């Protein structure tokens, strides 16, 4: 089996041979510029924060294992080959159920390679309006190691990321324990002071979750928790580049401040992504998908996740931040793989690795990616 196309990252046309689901050779075939009719080849996108998609809600009270499987298969069609299903703040019972069904989905051999871990976002976050975002206040609580261990037992060790607010009582101790157990700790939904962020970094936090969001509508000019996280070289930062969560000028500024080598794209997609505009239920709350693909708590200006797939974030990153397509793809492949310690398995196309890739066409003038195929282990998943 082989494929020809423009290899993102190499910036050249290549012929790639595959055997037994593994890349066997990569041969440069010609020097030429990229045009919109060319087939492009890139690693599958990696989304480390996705709450749902195409109507499948991972945080509903009646979520089923089949919902997880169908969500993953729906994401394949958009070029996202790997993901961290994300469980958000809720009752212990509801969060435990979400974790249980995601773990059960890992037993499905058709999708198990695509789920690279579970991301638990909350419930150990700020209870304040703004930093709390759309997370239900009644279920926000203080860090609890025993509760987390019970979740990790249910997950059979598959919880790989936990997002919390470092100013909550007991957070620093929890961060230390999570670091020792190999879980990536991300700062998010926080109103922390400078020293609290520094303490979290010292304890082992290595990432910021959707930086610039989950924040007060108005904050002091400086210092503030956004600047503090941007300035911390120890922290990678994920960004939702959907045109709603961060204005284009903010995306460009944050990418430059954090550095592209520490920036990660996430969708933060909720189950409304891919659906028609209207009023819907998200957990116990009413949310609205607007005609311009903004997801908000119904009747408010509070964002409640996004309605994009990760490929749209790649497009917007090129457009907003004036970076190359190659650079934008790294934010959604190499960087997320690295933060999870999986960069020796996924995130790049190399001889000897599993034959995981996507093909697409790139409209440079319109900033549009048209996904043609998503291939995992040499098998077309579209």
Q: Give the whole-angstrom CA distance, residue 88 versus residue 32.
A: 46
What CATH number is attached to the domain comprising 304? 3.20.20.140
Q: Are 125 and 140 in contact (CB under 8 A)?
A: yes
Same domain, 120 and 64: yes
Same domain, 17 and 64: no
Tens of pLDDT, residues 351-375: 999 999 999 999 999 999 999 999 9
Same domain, 39 and 50: no
Q: What mean pLDDT value characterizes the chain?
A: 95
Mean pLDDT, residues 181-197 taken together = 98
Domain carrying residue 98: 44-347
Mean pLDDT, residues 169-195 taken together = 98
Q: Give the whole-angstrom CA distance, residue 128 versus residue 76.
A: 36
What are the φ/ψ torsions at residue 171 (nearest 5 degrees)?
-65, -40
16: cis peptide before it, omega within 30°? Answer: no
Q: What is the pLDDT of residue 156?
A: 98
Same domain, 108 and 152: yes
Same domain, 248 and 207: yes
Residue 282, pLDDT above cutoff 80: no
Same domain, 121 and 239: yes
Same domain, 382 and 256: no
Q: Give the whole-angstrom CA distance, residue 349 versus residue 284.
A: 42
At 283, is the pLDDT very low, low, confident or very high (cuts 50, 70, 90)?
A: low
Q: Are 57 and 282 in contact (CB under 8 A)?
A: yes
Mean pLDDT, residues 235-253 taken together = 97
Q: CB count, 10 Å around CB of 290?
A: 12
Tens of pLDDT, residues 301-312: 778 889 999 999
| Number of compact structural domains in the chain | 2
Tens of pLDDT, residues 104-153: 999 999 999 999 999 999 999 999 999 999 899 999 999 999 999 999 99
Q: Give the whole-angstrom CA distance, residue 89 versus residue 125.
A: 9
Same domain, 230 and 311: yes
Distances (CA, A) of 355 to 108, 117, 352, 379: 19, 20, 9, 8
Same domain, 338 and 363: no
At 34, is the pLDDT very low, low, confident or very high (cuts 50, 70, 90)?
A: confident
Same domain, 33 and 57: no
Q: Give the whole-angstrom CA distance, residue 264 versus residue 227.
A: 17
Same domain, 218 and 139: yes
CA dihedral 299, 301, 304, 308 (to 10 degrees): 110
Same domain, 364 and 279: no
Mean pLDDT, residues 199-216 taken together = 97
Q: Are 255 and 330 in contact (CB under 8 A)?
A: no
What CATH number is attached to the domain comprising 26? 2.30.40.10
Opening angle at CA 56, ends 152 and 189, nearest 5 = 55
């Amino acid at each position: 089996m082989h494929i020809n196309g423009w290899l993102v990252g190499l910036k050249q046309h290549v012929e790639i041979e595959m055997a037994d689901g593994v890349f066997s050779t990569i041969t440069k075939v010609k020097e030429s510029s990229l045009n919109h009719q060319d087939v492009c080849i890139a690693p599958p996108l990696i989304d480390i924060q996705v709450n749902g998609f195409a109507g499948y809600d991972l945080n509903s009270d009646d979520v089923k294992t089949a919902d997880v499987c169908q969500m993953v298969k729906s994401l394949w069609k958009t070029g996202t080959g790997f993901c961290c299903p994300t469980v958000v703040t809720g009752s212990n019972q509801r969060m435990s159920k979400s974790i249980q069904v995601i773990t059960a989905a890992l037993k499905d051999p058709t999708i198990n390679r695509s789920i690279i871990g579970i991301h638990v976002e909350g419930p150990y976050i700020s209870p304040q309006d703004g930093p709390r975002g759309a997370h239900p206040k009644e279920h926000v609580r203080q860090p609890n190691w025993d509760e987390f261990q019970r979740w990790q037992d249910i997950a059979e060790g598959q919880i790989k990321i936990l997002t919390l607010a470092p100013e909550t009582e007991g957070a620093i101790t929890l961060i230390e324990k999570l670091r020792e157990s190999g879980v990536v700790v991300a700062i998010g939904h926080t109103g922390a002071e400078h020293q609290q962020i520094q303490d979290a970094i010292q304890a082992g936090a290595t990432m910021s979750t959707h930086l610039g969001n989950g924040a007060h509508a108005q904050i002091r000019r400086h210092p503030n928790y956004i600047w503090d996280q941007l300035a911390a070289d120890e922290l990678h930062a994920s960004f939702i580049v959907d045109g709603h969560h961060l204005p284009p000028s903010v995306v460009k500024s944050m990418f430059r401040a954090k550095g592209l080598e520490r920036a990660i794209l996430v969708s933060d997609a909720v189950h409304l992504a891919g659906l028609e505009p209207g009023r819907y239920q998200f957990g116990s709350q009413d949310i609205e998908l607007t005609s311009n693909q903004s997801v908000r708590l119904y009747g408010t200006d509070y964002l409640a996740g996004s309605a994009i797939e990760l490929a749209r974030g790649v497009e917007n990153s090129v457009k907003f931040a004036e970076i190359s397509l190659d650079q934008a793809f790294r934010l959604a492949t190499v960087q997320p793989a690295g933060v999870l310690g999986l960069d020796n398995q996924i995130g790049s196309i190399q001889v000897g690795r599993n034959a995981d890739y996507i093909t697409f066409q790139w409209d440079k003038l319109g900033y549009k990616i048209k996904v043609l195929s998503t291939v995992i282990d040499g098998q077309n998943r579209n």
